[in-house]
Structure 1
Amino acid sequence: MTARSKESGLKYATNVLQDQCQSVLIFWLGFRPLKMEELTELLSDVPKEELVSKLHALQNLRVVNPICDKADCYSLTEDGDQLRRLMISVSVWGVQQQDENADRQSMFVIEPELDASIKDLVKYRQTVEKYL
């Protein structure tokens, strides 16, 4: 993506976020550090090879830490955390606008507890998919 350095900052950011898999990875890795096995469970519709490729792409963009921690977990960098916060804000705004335009009441969304089991996080995927 560095070859696109002449495009606007917004265009650069949207190029990163328009990849559904990358956006979902950013969400989950900002929730808490996760092992590859956990990521494959949370993104069960993405082949592991593609997941690894997306993780490497995000590492190259300095969004995901280039080295797993001692527990062999992936996590976001500080830049990744900032991007995640912006992504969530824009996603919530978008859903609220869609609901308002359709005369629907927007749903209040609460993230799961940080110590939630993977089983509970998998149940939360539908909510994530609505926003991302």
Structure 2
Amino acid sequence: MKKREYTCGLDAAIDVMGGKWKGLILFWLGEGPLRFGELRRTVAGISERMLILQLREMQTSGLVHREVHHQVPPKVEYSLTEFGQSLRVALEPLGQWGEEHMERLEALPRTGASS
């Protein structure tokens, strides 16, 4: 398998973040562990299939921990690892920027890529 090569730190961070949903999952898991159904209700607009895919990718990259509690009915909780928490902290200034400029950003016309 070929080793990943990045041109800068931002390139590496975006690679592990990739896509629309991972930032939101990181945000909500930063509040504490959540079960799959809770996470699905919390991350508005995400499909069950997409949530499963994103969580698997985040587990593989070491951002998310999946804990299975052996009980009836089965209980699975997702939480941030220390690595995931460090990325969440790094994203906080970006979230603050978004909050400060949300009204302006919402007024922009939609493009085909973000629709």
Question: TM-score, length-normalised on structure 1?
Answer: 0.63
Contact 1:26 1:76 in 2 (8 A): yes
Once residues 63 and 5 of structure 1 are traced to their aligned partners in structure 2, the CA distance between those partners, rounded to angstroms, is: 19
Equivalent positions of 1:104-119 (< 5 A) are: none
By percentage of residues, which structure has more helix? Answer: 1
Structure showing the higher strand proportion among its residues: 2
CA 32–69 in structure 1, closer or farther in 2 if over 3 Å, else same: farther
Aligned counterpart, 2:10: 10
Within the alignment, does 1:74 sit opposite 2:63 as a pair?
no
Cα distance, 1:69 vs structure 2: 5.3
Segments of 4+ moved more than 4 angstroms: none
Distance 1:73 1:35 in 2: 4
What is the distance in 1 between the residues matched to 2:63 and 2:21? 14
Q: For residues 84 and 69 of structure 1, what CA distance do their matches in structure 2 show?
A: 23
Whether contact under 8 Å (2:68, 2:76) holds in the other structure is: yes
Deviations 1:31-68 (A, max 9, x none): 11000010111124221111101001011111001x31
Equivalent pairs, count: 97
Unaligned runs of 5+ in 1: 103-132
Q: Which ranges of structure 2 fall in alignment gaps of 5 or more residues?
A: 70-74, 105-115
2:93 maps to which residue?
89
Q: Contact conserved, 1:34 with 1:74, CA < 8 A, in 2?
A: yes
Q: Percent identity, please.
A: 28
TM-score (norm 2): 0.71
Partner Cα distance (1:76, 1:69) in 2? 15
Q: Which residue of 1 aligns with 2:63?
A: 63
**Aligned in 2, Cα 1:18/1:53: closer, same or farther, shift over 3 Å?**
closer
